[in-house]
Structure 1
Amino acid sequence: MPTSFDARWQSITFSSLAMSEIMDNPVEGETPQARLKQLGMLSLLYTLHLANIPLTLTNITEKTGLTRGGAAEPIDQLVARGLLREGWAKNALGRGKAREFEISDTLFARLKQASSP
């Protein structure tokens, strides 16, 4: 069973991996501000993931106060980088579809590898 120390260590490792992936690999034409937004968004998404909150635009806008467009911009950039996967799920009312995101398996595999002794 993981201890709270393990969870903190894993969060620090995730943050370091995310920062390395985003800040060390700028996309052509991308501003430093855009990279910082992506880093902040990925940190938020990881926190929501740990809390078992679905990574939907609705949940993200509720937690951040951003508009849907404001939230979608860094998310779309993270999808383009391959750090997030995008899919579709039923919306909260169960009638329509909502964009749902997952942190990439590649990033989690790197996290697991970095966390191993």
Structure 2
Amino acid sequence: MASKLSDRWQTQALSVFAVREILDRPLEDESAQSRIKQIGMVNILYMMHQAHQKLTLSNVIEFTGMTRGGVIETMELLVKRGILTESLGKNSQGRGVARHFELSSRLLDNLRVS
């Protein structure tokens, strides 16, 4: 089990990684506000990941209070950057399709090395 100190280092490493990845590599036609929103979202998603919460649109909307459109827009940019991976599965009722997200293995590997 990781110590509290290593948890703290991982959180700091995540913040540095997110800032460098997003600010140093802007996407075409991307606003500064969008990049800042992505940095915040990465930190929130990591907190949810650490708490073993599923990274679904509904859970992120509930956690952040953002609109569905705002969450989708930000999550899609993080997928495009390779920070998140997306898969489709059944929703909680087992009837419709739900979008599931995970932190990319590249991101998690970077945190383990740090």
**TM-score per shorter chain, which class?**
over 0.9
* Residue segments in structure 1 that go unaligned for 5+ positions in a row: none
* Residue segments in structure 2 that go unaligned for 5+ positions in a row: none
In structure 2, the residue matched to 1:43 is 43
Normalised TM-score (structure 1): 0.92
Distance of 1:26 and 1:70 partners within structure 2: 19
Q: Count residues in correspondence.
A: 114
- Give the superposed CA RMSD: 1.0
Residue 53 of structure 1 deviates from its aligned partner by: 0.4
SS of 1:86's equivalent in the other structure is strand
Residue 85 of structure 1 deviates from its aligned partner by: 0.5
Distance of 1:108 and 1:19 partners within structure 2: 15
Distance of 2:2 and 2:70 partners within structure 1: 36
Identity of aligned residues (%): 46
Structure 2 counterparts to residues 36-115 of structure 1, below 5 A: 36-114=36-114
Runs of 4+ in 1 over 2 A off after TM superposition: none
In structure 1, the residue matched to 2:34 is 34
Residue 6 of structure 1 deviates from its aligned partner by: 1.0
